[in-house]
Amino acid sequence: MNNSMDCAPEATLCNGTSCVVPESNFNAILSVVLSTVLTILLAMVMFSMGCNVDINRFLWHMKRPWGICVGFLCQFGIMPLTGFILSVAFDVLPLQAVVILIMGCCPGGTSSNILAYWVDGDMDLSVSMTTCSTLLAMGMMPLCLFIYTKMWTDAGTIVIPYDSIGTSLVALVIPVSIGMYVNHKWPEKAKIILKVGSIAGAILIVLIAVVGGVLYQSAWIIAPKLWIIGTIFPMAGYSLGFFLARIAGQPWHRCRTVALETGMQNTQLCSTIVQLSFTPEELNVVFTFPLIYSIFQLAFAGIFLGIYVAYKKCYQKNRGELPEIEGTETVPDSPHCQVNEGFQADTSGH
């Protein structure tokens, strides 16, 4: 029997009963253009987020990194372990289990910094956690993947794109550093930049989700188990990160920050690793999982944001600062206190 008869009409590459539709040149070019544009926009948004980071408080977190250590434990302890448990519990295919674990081992994404601002999180902690997790991912990702995936795949099969991690680190550190300097020298201008950047950041998050859905719309047919895991995984990350931070004695605003940093993974990095590590036939089975995770991590973050905004309106009508975020630690003074003031009335007189 002619193997070509087993193929869909639009397929041109056949091997037995397996047919792969070649990638569209339009999609490839569009992907490169949009990646470049989104990277530039993301750098601009991170610059505005840096305008809410106080240099003294940022250095304080580095010198007394208890919050960062809690976040590290969540990022490279809870998330890979949760991915492993979900893979075993749902008895997924080895290839699918590896992709789930790759997602769990990725560092925090920069979207968490934007969401941390909107939920009045500790921006200094958020930026320091994202920076540290991206830097430590150089060593922690290969280690975690070696530990958790060896029952499903051979060592060295998964390709870690160190250049992509380095690019993410540069795109984070440089704009944030410039924003911190602007905040230090011109705090009033920094507040204006922050207001614009926070709105642009929210639009950018939605834009990234839409672009991902459009570019990879042909890959949405995927095993139902992965849809379920993609729903549970980010929710588990948010919840476990929040409770672990609270158990560690962190104040509420830092618990919210750690929760976002834990559940909100760098899905773009995960997609890159998957593309570098698997064949086109294998990608048809698993490539959509990072997109599913991205959708649900944003959806749950939006729900949390809505709940928090409703809480503020109910219990914080005309007050400038929530009583629950008043920590007991002595930290350097910041023009933004312990939460962002981007949308609060300036009653300080300066």
| pLDDT of the residue at 46 | 77
| pLDDT of the residue at 217 | 55
- Domains held by the chain: number: 1
DSSP state of 211: H
Rounded CA gap, 339 and 331, in Å? 13
Asked if residue 262 lies in contact with residue 106, where contact means CB atoms within 8 angstroms, the answer is: no
Query: Which distant-in-sequence residues (6+ apart) come within 8 Å of 148 by Cβ?
Result: 80, 81, 83, 84, 101, 104, 105
Residue ranges making up the domain that contains 46: 30-308
| pLDDT of the residue at 156 | 63
Q: Say if 3 falls within a structural domain.
A: no
Q: Say if 62 falls within a structural domain.
A: yes
| pLDDT of the residue at 232 | 94
Burial of 61 (0-12, 13-18, 19+ CB in 10 A): buried
* β-strand partners of 15: 18
Rounded CA gap, 96 and 102, in Å? 10
Q: Say if 241 falls within a structural domain.
A: yes
User: What pLDDT, in 10s, does the model give residues 260-305?
Assistant: 999 988 887 887 788 777 777 777 777 788 888 988 898 899 899 8
The number of residues in the chain equals 350
Q: Say if 319 falls within a structural domain.
A: no
Asked if residue 285 lies in contact with residue 95, where contact means CB atoms within 8 angstroms, the answer is: yes
| pLDDT of the residue at 180 | 84
How many other β-carbons are positioned within 10 Å of the β-carbon of residue 115?
27
| pLDDT of the residue at 201 | 73
DSSP-derived 3-state class of residue 13: strand
| pLDDT of the residue at 185 | 84
How many other β-carbons are positioned within 10 Å of the β-carbon of residue 118?
20
Q: Say if 210 falls within a structural domain.
A: yes
Residue with tokens 């009508």: 317
Q: Say if 4 falls within a structural domain.
A: no
Give pLDDT < 70 ranges for the chain.
Answer: 1-35, 38, 154-156, 205, 208-221, 316-350
Handedness of CA 234, 240, 243, 245 (dihedral sign): negative
Rounded CA gap, 348 and 49, in Å? 21
Q: Say if 180 falls within a structural domain.
A: yes
* CATH number, domain with residue 174: 1.20.1530.20
Q: Say if 287 falls within a structural domain.
A: yes
